[in-house]
Amino acid sequence: MPVIDQKIGDRYAAYNGDCNEVMNKLQDNSIHLSVYSPPFAHSGGGLYQYSSDSRDLSNCTDYNQFFEHYNFIVEQISRITIPGRMTAVHCTDIPSGNTGNDHLIDFPGDIIRLHEKYNFNYIARHVIWKEPLWVRNRTMAKVLAHRTIVDDAAYAGVANADYIIIFRKKGKNEIPISHPIGFGYYSGAQPIPKNLKRYKGWTGDQKQNLLSHWIWRRYASSIWDDIDIGNVLPYNDHKDPEGEKHVHPLQLDVIDRCIELRSNPGEIILDPFGGIGSTPYSALKYNRKSIAVELKTSYYNQMILNIEKALQNGFNKDEQFDLEFDETSELESEIME
């Protein structure tokens, strides 16, 4: 396999190389779930540039070339995904520029149409809420400056939400993704009402498991406004000779939810744009297996460190998923099917 480096263990395989070349060697119908964030395309090239490598999708010359290359990625993901199983894509609407007189490009819509071309059905979209001032301070977007609404609100924008778009490969799912005792862990920032504490570890009638119901209602929501934006893996934010310009890991809350909701323990989770290893970290934490590919060597090295950290922590439900309950609030009893 044409890779720069690789490290393979009992529960994971990590590759420093081009994801298309690596996926080309994977067996048909072998991946249970993929969770990833592709480079965000821009009408004039890469909105965020990750490296100077010509194989890096963020270095495409324009929006159309990005999708020409991304086409090969989705085709491979479709081939290796098990029928009836899913891929989860993190994306957002893309601004055409940052002049203050720009428009938005429907990047998620183009991603949906591309997946439908390759045997996927579009089944869900989760909106990840973003706080406007936080986005303004991070991106310096002129459309989010308070001065813009003072001068001329015709040019004012919004803090674009992120999206997790869920696709299911056509065909019957032969192994149900089951949760026989519901959800016992919560990845999010909203306090859990104190009277749900007695349902922790509940193994009885799941219609009575109000803790699982409370968690499920947040996971099943189309709007995820309880994501801890700061809950990301540590990374080395530095500029290197290869031209690293951007790193912003996806929040672990988002990845955790996709993995726990859409896969079974022991199954294989793929991230073709592995970055610093957020998806393999969550996969190993939730007792899954992981395959991750990262083209940039500095990211790959950080990925290995984060994978080793996940393995060192082991899989201990009581220690890793200790729930925090809000002693000041209670939830009225609700019974759901």
Per-residue pLDDT of the chain (337 residues; tens, 9 = 90+): 579 999 999 999 999 999 999 999 999 999 999 999 998 765 444 445 555 555 666 666 778 888 999 999 999 999 999 999 999 999 999 887 766 677 888 999 999 999 999 999 999 999 999 888 888 887 788 888 888 889 889 888 888 899 999 999 999 999 999 999 999 999 999 999 999 999 998 999 999 999 999 999 999 999 999 999 889 998 764 445 554 455 578 999 999 999 999 999 999 999 999 999 999 999 999 999 999 999 999 999 999 999 999 998 766 554 446 788 877 777 655 554 4
Q: Work out the angle at residue 235's Cα, subtended by the Cα atoms of residues 126 and 316, and round it to the nearest 5 degrees.
A: 70
239 sits in which H/E element: none
**pTM (predicted TM-score):** 0.89
Work out how many domains the chain is built from and give that number: 1
Asked whether residue 297 is domain-assigned, the answer is: yes
Q: Is there a contact between 60 and 46 (Cβ–Cβ < 8 Å)?
A: yes
The stretches of 140-292 forming alpha helices (DSSP H) are 146-151, 210-219, 252-262, 278-285
112 sits in which H/E element: helix 107-117
Asked whether residue 101 is domain-assigned, the answer is: yes
Asked whether residue 212 is domain-assigned, the answer is: no
Three-class DSSP category at 172: coil
Q: Is there a contact between 223 and 125 (Cβ–Cβ < 8 Å)?
A: no
Asked whether residue 292 is domain-assigned, the answer is: yes
Asked whether residue 117 is domain-assigned, the answer is: yes
Q: Is there a contact between 96 and 104 (Cβ–Cβ < 8 Å)?
A: yes
CATH number for the domain harbouring residue 83? 3.40.50.150
Asked whether residue 168 is domain-assigned, the answer is: yes
Query: Range of 302's domain?
Result: 5-180+221-326
Asked whether residue 273 is domain-assigned, the answer is: yes
Q: List the structure tokens of 4.
A: 């720069």
Asked whether residue 14 is domain-assigned, the answer is: yes
Q: What pLDDT does 243 receive?
A: 46
State the sign of the Cα–Cα–Cα–Cα dihedral 268, 184, 279, 58: positive
* DSSP state, residue 62: S
Per residue in 278-306, pLDDT (tens digit) is 999 999 999 999 999 999 999 999 999 99
Q: What pLDDT does 104 receive?
A: 85
Q: List the structure tokens of 170.
A: 């056509």
Q: What pLDDT does 46 receive?
A: 40
What are the backbone dihedrals phi and psi of residue 154, each rounded to the nearest 5 degrees, phi first? Answer: -65, -25
Q: What pLDDT does 18 receive?
A: 94
* DSSP state, residue 224: E
Q: List the structure tokens of 73.
A: 């990625």
Query: Alpha carbon 127 to chain centroid distance?
Result: 12
Q: What pLDDT does 155 receive?
A: 85
